[in-house]
Amino acid sequence: MGIRVIKAGLLTTVQDLGRTGFQSQGFGVSGVMDVRSFKLANLLLDNPENEAVLEFTLIGPTLEFTSDTIIAITGGDFSPKINEAPVTMYQAIYVNKGDVLELGSSATGSRGYIAFSSYLDIPMVMGSRSTNLKSGVGGFNGRKLQKDDYLYFRVKRRYIPFFLSRKLQINEFKEQEIQLRVVPGPQDQLFTAAGKKTFYKSSYTVTSDFDRMGCRLDGPYIAAKTTSDIISDGIAFGSIQVPSHGKPIILLADRQTTGGYGKIATVISADLPKLVQCKTGDKVRFKEVTVEEAQLLLREEVKEMDQYRRQIHHPCREVLDCRLTAKRLERMMR
């Protein structure tokens, strides 16, 4: 009644939107890196918005299903196959008992997600199912998945309405040069005018120092007026800190709660998925926006999600066609 891990992949963990409410006591949030792909995976299956999924990185896992269920795969393109036949991403897929799902290495993007209609049976720890790797808490035994791990399902849910309509035409994360919109601050005053200009006008390269905790960029030196050290304060998802070496580090899902380096700007939520799906060597540019613009973009994303939800809740053409034919036949038989 679940899944068996045949190959674990590079870094496969159980994640949801993260563990909030304990940051004041030094406990990090964790949670999925790419919130958008995560939400789309759950949306495709009518799962609760914060239902736990598997997140995998660069090389995906191979999983054997020991019961029927419905899954959806989103994020970067990991060329998924079931029993060696390719399957489509961003679509509800019915999986039979004994099927083997194999995920390769990512052709585009760097992180993928699998949502399950039968929900993973992972205990809630401090209000979340997310794996906090640093503290060894939450998720599957507080660690990344290994060969022969067995994850149970919580419920039997093998039917969802409008099954054939549950597909979306989404193909993101192809670009190797991205623009990230940022809200300046909270410590941009620590940097010289020239330093800020460098930051906004230059192209930075994603280094191999890129994990769930943060992404280190290489590129032109960002000059601080005196020092960029500050009295430690709280860190947000997407905070861009610039230590004295003058190169930006963007803090991500597994960030510490507080830090002592000045933060020149913060990546807006709508652009974080683009960043976390980057690969080593990709180029990044920054563009300044206001907090109002950033919040407007998020509201638009909510509308977009609603639009997708409506789209997958319509009978699809194939089904409608059958119904029309049946109606005509019925008339003829009368």
Partner 1 sequence: MADIQFSPVGDSSVLLEFGHDISEETNAKITAFSKALKSMPTAGIIDQVPAFCSLLINYDPRLVTYATLVKKMKELSKTASQAAGAMGRVFEIPVCYDGECGPDLENIAKLSGLSAEEVIKIHSEPEYLIYMLGFMPGFPYLGGLDERIHVPRLEDPRLKIPQGSVGIGGAQTGIYPLESPGGWQLLGRTPVKTYEALRKPPILFEAGDYIKFVPITKEMFDKIENDAGYKCQVRRKEV
Q: Which residues make up the interface to partner 1 (CB under 8 A)?
A: 20-29, 125-126, 134-135, 137-138, 182-183, 185-186, 231-239, 256-258, 263, 266-270, 291-292, 294-295, 297-299, 302
Rank residues 95 and 264 by Cβ distance to partner 1 and give the closer one: 264
Rank residues 65 and 191 by Cβ distance to partner 1 and give the closer one: 191
Rank residues 24 and 169 by Cβ distance to partner 1 and give the closer one: 24
Which of 264, 257, 258 has the alpha carbon at shortest distance from 243?
Answer: 264
Residue 80 CA to its chain's centroid (Å): 17
Rank residues 103 and 240 by Cβ distance to partner 1 and give the closer one: 240
Whether the link from the prior residue into 48 is cis, omega within 30° of 0, is no
Determine contact, residues 82/98, Cβ cutoff 8 Å: no
Residue 20 Cβ vs partner 1, minimum distance, rounded to whole Å: 4
Residue 321 Cβ vs partner 1, minimum distance, rounded to whole Å: 38
Rank residues 93 and 270 by Cβ distance to partner 1 and give the closer one: 270
Residue 198 Cβ vs partner 1, minimum distance, rounded to whole Å: 21
How far apart CA 176 and CA 120 sit, in angstroms, is 34
Determine contact, residues 258/29, Cβ cutoff 8 Å: no
Residue 296 Cβ vs partner 1, minimum distance, rounded to whole Å: 9
Residue 258 Cβ vs partner 1, minimum distance, rounded to whole Å: 4
Residue linked to tokens 């790797």: 133
How far apart CA 13 and CA 240 sit, in angstroms, is 25
Task: Report which residue type is found at 172.
Answer: E
Residue 237 Cβ vs partner 1, minimum distance, rounded to whole Å: 8
Rank residues 19 and 166 by Cβ distance to partner 1 and give the closer one: 19
Residue 185 Cβ vs partner 1, minimum distance, rounded to whole Å: 5
How far apart CA 169 and CA 188 sit, in angstroms, is 39
Task: Write the DSSP symbol of residue 38.
Answer: H
How far apart CA 142 and CA 262 sit, in angstroms, is 31
Query: What six digits make up the tokens of 292?
Result: 């109002």
Query: What six digits make up the tokens of 267?
Result: 């990546």
Which of 276, 298, 10, 292 has the alpha carbon at shortest distance from 147?
Answer: 10
Give the largest Cα separation in the chain, rounded.
Answer: 89
Rank residues 107 and 126 by Cβ distance to partner 1 and give the closer one: 126
* CB-CB neighbours of 232 under 10 Å: 12
Rank residues 53 and 137 by Cβ distance to partner 1 and give the closer one: 137
How far apart CA 125 and CA 303 sit, in angstroms, is 32
Residue 231 Cβ vs partner 1, minimum distance, rounded to whole Å: 5
Residue linked to tokens 């066609």: 321
User: Helices in 90-239 by DSSP H: which ranges?
Assistant: 193-201
Strand partners, 95: 69
Rank residues 49 and 177 by Cβ distance to partner 1 and give the closer one: 49
Residue 295 Cβ vs partner 1, minimum distance, rounded to whole Å: 4
